[in-house]
Amino acid sequence: MPRLTKPLTATEVKTAKPKDRNYKLSDGGGLFLLVQPSGSKLWRMKFRFNGKEGLLSFGQYPDVSLMDARKKRDESREMIVAGIDPREARKARIEANRAKTEYTFERIARDWHTDKLPEWQPVTARNTLNRLELDIFPVLGNLPIADITHQQIIDVLKAIELRAAETARRLKSTLSRIFSYAIQRGIIRHNPIPDLIDVLNKVNKQHFAAIKPSELGPFLRTLETNRARLFFPTQVAVSLMMMTFVRTSELIGAEWPEIDLNNGIWRIPWQRMKMGKRKINPDMTDHRIDLPSQAVTLLRDLKAVTGSGRYLFPNQRGHDKPMSNGAILMVLRRMGYQGKMTGHGFRTLAASALEELGYRREVIDRALAHKERNKIQAAYFRADFMAERKKMLQDWADYLDELREKNQ
């Protein structure tokens, strides 16, 4: 028969004096008061779990009274009976409390942002953080990420949607990635964003404005009537974009060493191409354009004007920088095509018109520098379509000339 332990009294606990070495005052059920030579009185509980002995600490007297210590002992014994290790339960409580004080949404979001920096372009990193700082952190930033509710997320997203629907949609995606990041770190167990399927109104995807192939003739006529109002380099830029349908950034950043006038080739370094700028698995293939004869003639004339500098199309305010990104849009606005045509629209226009003229889509895609996902096919396209691409660009330039003559 186990020996019964006489419970301690509040007076015994209070009057217990220190000795030369540690000693214990037992209260029963594994609970005891450890009195140290320094005078400290510490509550401890000895227990067995799964056949192994363990020790719990309940704090120091008088911060923890005899009654409080007994309450902690009884709670721990109930856990043991239920098959729960009280030490693990305590760790879980500590971690939960830590999550509420340390793992705020803003802290986790900033950690996620920092971890993504090696993968992002600087502009992506800057824009992502700016959107969070402007719209999310003021509302959710100080909240423990584990405690954020569906309704709190809905409220903040709907408020943003009233001002900018597309921004709300992008931020919803960003929030989902942050919550997923918190799951991977073991901070939370559930991502609430996938539950919010119908929270935001559907946004119709907006394509870059572009005229139809049937509208190309009148467009060329309008361009001719406006040439006198444009600087010569700007005239060449618009014409070259129409003939080669490169991206606006690839056009305005063009440098003279990229141009081989003798052979009629424009080789854009992969570092300037859209897929080459990716930090993860960039496409390190230069984009070759076999220039039509009309483009070569224009570029020879342009070289007499800007050939002494670095850029084909230098900025009018300083030739050490390229033409402004909005220069093409300004031309289109002067022509009366604002909202109807964009720099990117030349690519859409050319792709549609060339298909109508009978060219294969894969040849057009390679000329547009669209990336082929299949690496084997991509290598084949680069090697086998160059002759077709060269002929296509010359045919396209001739076609533009024919339309221009018909509409004069």
Confidence of residue 262 (pLDDT cuts 50, 70, 90): very high
Question: Any idea which residues carry the catalytic annotation?
Answer: 247, 274, 344, 347, 370, 380
Q: Picking from 129-143, 171-185, 267-281, which range would have the lowest pLDDT averaged per residue? A: 267-281
Most confident among 17-31, 87-101, 380-394 (mean pLDDT): 17-31
The residues, any chain, with a CB within 8 Å of residue 6's CB and separated by 6 or more, are 28
User: Are 290 and 393 spatial neighbours (Cβ–Cβ below 8 Å)?
Assistant: yes
User: Are 27 and 8 spatial neighbours (Cβ–Cβ below 8 Å)?
Assistant: yes
CA 330 to chain centre: 30
Residue 227 has a pLDDT of 76
pTM of the complete model beyond 0.95: no
Residue 407 has a pLDDT of 64
Give me the CATH topology for the region 213-406: hpI Integrase; Chain A (1.10.443)
Averaged pLDDT for residues 253-267: 92
Going from N- to C-terminal start, the domains of the chain cover 10-85, 103-195, 213-406
Residue 115 has pLDDT above 70, yes or no: yes
Reduce the DSSP state of residue 242 to 3 states and report it.
Answer: helix
Residue 16 has a pLDDT of 93
Residue for token digits 């141009």?
259
Whole-angstrom distance between the N-terminal and C-terminal Cα of the chain?
A: 115
Reduce the DSSP state of residue 287 to 3 states and report it.
Answer: strand
The residues, any chain, with a CB within 8 Å of residue 204's CB and separated by 6 or more, are none
Structure tokens at 324: 């402004």
Distance CA 369, CA 382 (A): 10
Distance CA 151, CA 307 (A): 61
* Angle formed at CA 309 by CA 308 and CA 314, multiple of 5 degrees: 130
Distance CA 285, CA 313 (A): 24
Q: Picking from 7-11, 103-107, 217-221, 278-282, which range would have the lowest pLDDT averaged per residue? A: 278-282
Q: Which helix (H) or strand (E) holds 74?
A: helix 66-81
Average pLDDT of the chain to the nearest whole number? 85
Distance CA 57, CA 59 (A): 6
Give the model confidence (pLDDT) of 126-152 as tens digits: 889 999 999 999 999 999 998 899 999
Residue for token digits 């960003």?
174
Distance CA 245, CA 345 (A): 9
Residue 383 has pLDDT above 80, yes or no: no
**CA dihedral sign of residues 323, 324, 328, 333:** negative
Distance CA 324, CA 14 (A): 82
Residue 303 has a pLDDT of 93
User: When comparing pLDDT for 344 and 42, which is higher?
Assistant: 42
Architecture of the domain defined by 103-195: Orthogonal Bundle (1.10)
Give the model confidence (pLDDT) of 284-337 as tens digits: 888 888 999 999 999 999 999 998 889 998 988 877 888 887 888 888 888 888
CATH no., domain 10-85: 3.30.160.390
Q: Are strands 287-290 and 314-315 parallel, antiparallel or unpaired?
A: unpaired
DSSP conformational letter for 311 = B
Averaged pLDDT for residues 171-183: 94
Distance CA 213, CA 199 (A): 39
Residue 154 has a pLDDT of 93
Percent of the chain with pLDDT over 90: 36
